[in-house]
């Protein structure tokens, strides 16, 4: 197989990945898994034979874990979006427009 062939396939896969969407079944599975695991942690916190302070510590840790997981998912998504070809093309177009525009020119016809 020529060396250019795998590169073209990889470029096509990158373009496809940029346009791919999650199926509703995958979304439903992820939502159910999140709900079951979150309820399991809450059930463990409430039903473990602990005093109030260890329960509160576990609850705070669970809340922090959930919020940091959402933040991490958003950061990963933003990095993947920034790497797409569409975004890079928009950046190149904007840089070209800014390079062509010179506010200090005196000729109004340019």
- CB proximity list for 41: less than 8 A, separation 6 or greater: 58, 62
Q: Which of 100, 34, 43, 95 is nearest to 70 (CA)?
A: 34
Q: pLDDT (tens digit, 9 = 90+) per residue, 43-84? A: 999 999 999 999 999 999 999 999 999 999 999 998 888 778
Domain limits, the chain: 4-100
Q: pLDDT (tens digit, 9 = 90+) per residue, 15-26? A: 555 556 889 999
| pTM above threshold 0.85 | no
Task: Determine the Cα angle at 72 with ends 66 and 76, to 5°.
Answer: 150
CB 41 within 8 A of CB 62: yes
């Amino acid at each position: 197989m020529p060396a250019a062939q795998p590169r073209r396939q990889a470029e096509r896969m990158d373009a496809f990945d940029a346009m791919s969407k999650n199926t509703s079944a995958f979304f439903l599975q992820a939502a159910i898994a999140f709900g079951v695991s979150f309820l399991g942690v809450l059930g463990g916190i409430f039903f473990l034979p602990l005093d109030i302070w260890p329960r509160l510590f576990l609850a705070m840790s669970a809340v922090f874990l959930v919020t940091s997981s959402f933040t991490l998912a958003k950061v990963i998504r933003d990095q993947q979006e920034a790497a797409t070809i569409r975004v890079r093309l928009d950046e190149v177009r904007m840089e070209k427009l800014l390079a062509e525009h010179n506010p200090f020119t005196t000729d109004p016809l340019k």
